[in-house]
């Protein structure tokens, strides 16, 4: 998997996990089983997003991990270590 796909997948998994936690909050007063099931699913999705990010979001030039640099989770334009442009 290349770093661009990995970046998209990790961001989507993380956003989906946050959405599921919010959905679980809606069901918190109605069903505790459904609430904890959704929270468990969100934890698994967030963990999968972190694994994808730490394993495959690396600079193609030097192999250093690409870091989230702003709150919108956009991909950086340059590598933080070798300062080469990411295409």
Given this model, what pLDDT does residue 36 score?
93
Question: Are the C-beta atoms of 61 and 87 separated by less than 8 Å?
Answer: no
Q: What is the mean pLDDT of residues 10-20?
A: 94
Model confidence over 40-68: pLDDT tens digits? 999 999 999 999 999 998 888 898 888 87
**CB contact at 8 A, 50 and 67:** no
Residue 14: per-residue pLDDT:
92
Mean of pLDDT over the chain: 89
Q: How far apart are CA 41 and CA 20, in angstroms?
A: 8
**Residue listed under structure tokens 């956009």:** 74
The structure's pTM equals 0.82
Helix, strand, or coil here: 58?
strand
Q: Residue 75 has what pLDDT?
A: 85
């Amino acid at each position: 998997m290349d770093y661009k796909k990995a970046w998209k997948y990790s961001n989507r998994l993380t956003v989906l996990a946050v959405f599921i936690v919010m959905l679980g909050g809606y069901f918190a007063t109605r069903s505790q089983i459904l609430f904890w099931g959704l929270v468990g699913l969100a934890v698994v999705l967030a963990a999968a997003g972190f694994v994808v990010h730490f394993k495959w979001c690396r600079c193609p030039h030097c192999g250093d991990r690409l870091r989230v640099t702003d709150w919108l989770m956009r991909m950086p334009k340059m590598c933080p270590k070798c300062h080469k442009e990411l295409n």
